Amino acid sequence: MPTYEYICLECGTRLEVRASLREKEAGLEVTCPRCESENTAQVFGNFAVGTSSGERRTDSGGGCGCGSGCDCN
């Protein structure tokens, strides 16, 4: 089952949610365990990129993408 990373836009808590793809596509509602806010956004984080020489580097997915200027990346 995939794990998705979210951030609470109210208190800044980062959380991981395990959910099936079917649950995610149906409109997964994530509640912050700290402040109980439903104002959350999925984080699109770092991922590894392989090169032709076999090196690996880390590339950013562009931050959380929440658009609120929260500087959570």
**pLDDT tens profile 27-72:** 999 999 999 999 999 998 665 555 555 544 444 444 555 555 555 5
Hey, which residues does 40 pair with through a beta bridge?
Answer: 8
**SS3 track for 19-69:** CCHHHHHCCCCCCCCCCCCCCEEECCCCEEEECCCCCEEEECCCCCCCCCC
Domains for the chain: give ranges and CATH numbers: 3-59 (2.20.28)
- Per-residue pLDDT of 5-35, as tens digits, reads 999 999 999 999 999 999 999 999 999 999 9
Predicted local confidence at residue 64, as pLDDT: 52
> For residue 53, what pLDDT is reported?
52
